[in-house]
Each structure stands twice: as C-alpha cells, then as structure tokens.
Structure 1
C-alpha cells in the first residue's frame, strides 16, 4: 500500500503497543487509541489540521518482538511472576539499550521545536529545571517538556534513568515560552529496607531534558545530599 500511496496518513486504532514493520516507510502515522463514538469527528479535525495531535506515548513501541522486556505474562500454577523489579516498562528498554520503533514519551505535532536549558534549583520540595522552548515552525503547537533522572552510582537498585517530571506549553509560531519542570523529592528517593525509610542517595544527579526518553536536548547536573 505504501508503495502505491507513499503519502498516505495511517491511523492506528489500538490501545497497546503493536508491531508496525512498515513504520519507517510511512510518512505520517496517527495513533488514535480508543477514541469512542466521536472518533470520526476527532480524526477529521486532526487530519484537516483544525487541531494538533499533541499526545505522547506512555509506553515504548517495539521494533522487534525479541526486544520486548516482558513478551508475555503466562501464569504458572496460577501465579504471574514479575522479575523486572524497578526496571519496569520503558526503564527496561533503557537498561537493555535496545532500539525501539518509538521511545517512551515520543510524539510529534504540526510544528518543530528548539530547546534552551536554564538553571536547575534544589528546593525543599525537590528540584526545579527551567527550559525555554521555541516554536520554529509555521503552526501553533503544544510541547511537552520531559526531564529524566539519572542517579549517581550507589548500593541501591535504581533504573538507568526514569521520568522525573514534565510540563507543557502552547506556543504561537515564532514565539517562545519558558516552562519549569518540577521534580518532587520523593521521585528522587529510594526505599532503604535497613533504615525502614525513604532516603536520597548522595551524589551528582544528571537531569536529561528533551522530547522523549531517547530525544534528549540537554543535560544539567545537580548535587544532592543524603537524608539524615
């Protein structure tokens, strides 16, 4: 089909990841999820450019079945055993390093964006990261700025990186907006079974800012101290 209609807009009506072996050949793919009884009107507005499809993937879209961290969940003697620990979902992809068809947090719209990182501030509530996003396209758009945390090495089992926080801005073409992404302290902490308490491992934390977990536009480092 793509060979005959290379500019076709393909609508995927699915609520979970599926394999799309033709994805690289497609010009435009719209993920419709489960849109309900107003699906026709919603799709018409998006395809006609009345509104922007500004959603982001809440999971990783695999390129190959063999790359999926948990390919099936088959009960054994009535029990489904989950062995991922803290490396669940997109975190397992970051640990394996496998290349997905589309990463966690991915999403496009009708325009393009430039990022400029500002400062990161440590507060009593956690960390705040300032980011300026500029709409360099010809259409207004909504951008979701995402910050992923990479913790220093410690004796705690931690993901390679995980979503710390996000913030959105709607910007006219040619304009820019400043957003502040707040990362709550609890998101940075880990449970210490020996102390029976939440603790903040001491060291330098790397905060990756971008459009998805794999589309990083800049990194800022902040030193954080351990809890008393």
Structure 2
C-alpha cells in the first residue's frame, strides 16, 4: 500500500497525472486494519462522510474500536442498528455521543454539518405510526449527511385524505422517501402524484401474510408508477443515503 501511494505521489509531482486524477486514485485506498475490521478512512473522499458502522451482529467492544479509529480522523460518526450496550461502549471514548432509541442510531457531531452542496429537500413519509423506527433511521441519516429534511407521518392508504391534505409538502420536495408495511401500496400512490424520485422502503410491519416485509417489497417492486426505486426491508439508512446522492447538485 505504501509503495502504491509513493508511486502515485511521484506521478503527480512529475506531471504524469493532474490533481483531479490524483484525488480520484486516492479514493480507493487506504484502509486501517484493526484485526477484526478494516476501517475505510477514504470513504470521506467518495461520499464526504466517514464509514458508517452497522452495529447489529457486532459486539460493543468491536463497535467501540471502529468508532475510536473513525473519530481519530473525523468530526462525525454515524452508527446504525445500535443497542444500549453499543452506546455505552462508544460513550467511553466519545462523551458527546448521542443515542436515538427509536432510530437505534449513535451519532457524534463535532463540526458544522455543511448543506451548501445540497439542493432541495428530502421528504420522509410513513404509511403508519408503526413505521416510525425506520423513518427515524432515515431522518437521522439524512440530516447528518447535510440534507434539509421534512417529515410526514401516518398518511397511509387506509385514510388517503390525510395524504391529500399535505400535497404542498409533496410538491416542495426534491426527493421523497416513502416507508410502508402491510401491503406497501403508498409509494405507488405518491409516485403517481409527483415528478421527483421516490425511494420506497418496505417494512416488516404487518399481519402474517406480510411475511416480515416480503409482501410490501414485492408490491413496491411491481409498482406501475414511474420514478420509483426500492431498497431492502426496513432499510431506512440505505434510502436516506441514496436520497442524499440524488439530492446533490
């Protein structure tokens, strides 16, 4: 790895590559090997944000170790699917860490969240109140990534008049995240009303035939409304990250 960086630096100094090519090549390395993980410190070059920690299936000590390495090089930290034990471990190395119990996220913000390179607004919509944990994960993610975010909760197809009374919010958004369980019909309805990208998020909320989110996932994948893309079940983080990329200038 060291040899590769030295060669790249020499190529730049000798005029073989320009500064844009130099930075583009740096995007692909390096990473820090801490035995149980390889922390990608150059994620910042790719996404303007450090690597995000998925805490689920990791021990509190593993999460703490990764978080420590990230915070040594960055003013920001986002960890998803975290429990209170993960949070207690991170607190030992970051007293300013915050835990959102509903979203199951850990965040550290030590600098200004820049919004200059974004345009428009991300609107997060849920069909029901039971979808709020996924929506909160999306909100926390979108906000720490520098987006202006607006929320519209509990406007599912079982009472569609609740949605129609908020059409002004739909018209004001540049990207819309729609979160729904049960049969998952809401993204199709919204997709037929707007001219901006719609990111559909199926949730594992519903009765037995919901199959833990498989039913709304298939409904969303089979939507006839144009402009809809679908992420995995309960993936509020993935939806918010994709929305951020769409929302950039």
TM-score bucket (shorter structure): under 0.3
Q: Answer 1 or 2: which has greater helix percent.
A: 2
| Larger RCO (CA within 8 A; separation ≥ 6) | 1
Instruction: State the TM-score, normalized to the length of structure 2.
Output: 0.23
Q: Which has the higher strand share?
A: 1
